[in-house]
Structure 1
Amino acid sequence: MLKILSVTYKDSTSGGPYRVAVDHKNCLDNKEFNLKFFKYDKNLKLKFIFNSSKIKKFINKFDLIHLHNLFSIDTIIIIKIAELLSIPTVLSLHGNLNEWSMKKNNFLKMLFLLFFRKNINSISIIHFLNNVEKEEASKFIDIKKIPYTINQNCIDVSKFKITRNNDSNFNILFFGRLDKKKNFLKIPEIANFFKKNAIQNIKFLIVGPSTVENLNLLKKKISEFNVEDLIEIRSPINSINQKNSLFDEIDIFILPSEDEADSVAIKEALASGKPVVISKECKFVLDTKNQEFIKIINNKSPRSYYNELLKFYYDREKLNKLAKKIHQYSRENFSMESLVKWLPVIYKKCINHTHRNKNL
Structure 2
Amino acid sequence: MKIAFLTPEYPHRRTGTAGGIGTSILNLTKGLIALGHQVVILVYGQDKDAYFEEDNVQYYKIKNIKIKGLSFYFTQKKVERLIDKLYSENKIDIVEAPDWTGFTAFINPKCPLVIRENGSDTYFCHLDNRPVKFKNKYLEKRALKKADAIISVSHFTGTLTNKLFKLKSPFTVIPNAIDVLAFKPFPKTDTRLTILYFGTLIRKKGLLELPEIFNKVHAENKEAELVLVGKDSPDIFTNSKSTWALMQPLFNANAIKKVNYLGAVPYKDMQDLIQQATVCVFPTFAEALPVSWIEAMAMEKPIVASNVGWAKEVISDGINGYLVHPKDHTTYANRILELLEKPSLQKEFGKAARKKATTTFSAEVVAKQSVEFYKTMVTL
Superposed displacement of residue 131, structure 1: 2.1
Query: What residue number does 2:256 align with?
Result: 228
Write the letter of the residue equivalent to 1:254: V
Deviation track 1:258-300 (CA, whole Å, cap 9, x = no partner) reads 1221111111111000111011116232899762331111461
> Quick check: 231-240 or 14-23, which moved more?
231-240
Query: What residue number does 2:293 align with?
Result: 266
Q: Alignment identity in percent? A: 19
Provide TM-score, normalisation by structure 2.
Answer: 0.79
Q: What is the correspondence of 1:200-215 to structure 2 with a 5 Å cutoff? A: 200-211=222-233, 212-215=241-244
Match of 1:92 among 116, 128, 144: 116
Distance 1:269 1:234 in 2: 18
Query: What residue number does 1:324 align with?
Result: 351
Distance 1:205 1:141 in 2: 38
Q: Does the C-alpha gap of structure 1 residues 346 and 182 become closer, same or farther in structure 2, counting only changes over 3 Å?
A: same
Query: What residue number does 1:44 align with?
Result: 64
Query: What residue number does 1:358 align with?
Result: none
Distance 1:252 1:31 in 2: 34
Give the count of matched residue pairs: 342
> Is the contact made by 1:170 and 1:250 (CA closer than 8 Å) also made in structure 2?
yes
Superposed displacement of residue 301, structure 1: 1.9
Secondary structure of the structure 2 residue equivalent to 1:167: coil
> Is the contact made by 1:13 and 1:209 (CA closer than 8 Å) also made in structure 2?
no
Query: What residue number does 1:159 align with?
Result: 182
Q: Does the C-alpha gap of structure 1 residues 262 and 331 become closer, same or farther in structure 2, counting only changes over 3 Å?
A: same
Deviation track 1:222-252 (CA, whole Å, cap 9, x = no partner) reads 4x55422221101223434x12211221011
Asked if residue 68 in structure 1 is aligned to residue 88 in structure 2, the reply is: no
Provide TM-score, normalisation by structure 1.
Answer: 0.83
- Aligned-residue CA RMSD in angstroms? 3.1
Deviation track 1:72-124 (CA, whole Å, cap 9, x = no partner) reads 4x4324xx241xxx221111121226755336663524x54446755532201
Secondary structure of the structure 1 residue equivalent to 2:228: strand
Distance 2:140 2:311 in 1: 32
Deviation track 1:112-167 (CA, whole Å, cap 9, x = no partner) reads 444675553220111112222222111233543x4421122121223223234353
Distance 1:329 1:185 in 2: 29
Secondary structure of the structure 1 residue equivalent to 2:226: strand
> Is the contact made by 2:298 and 2:354 (CA closer than 8 Å) also made in structure 1?
yes
Query: What residue number does 2:56 align with?
Result: none
Where do 5+ consecutive residues of structure 1 fail to align? 354-360
> Quick check: 120-129 or 286-295, which moved more?
286-295
Secondary structure of the structure 2 residue equivalent to 1:195: helix
Distance 1:319 1:276 in 2: 9
Distance 1:59 1:311 in 2: 53
Asked if residue 101 in structure 1 is aligned to residue 128 in structure 2, the reply is: no
Secondary structure of the structure 1 residue equivalent to 2:163: coil
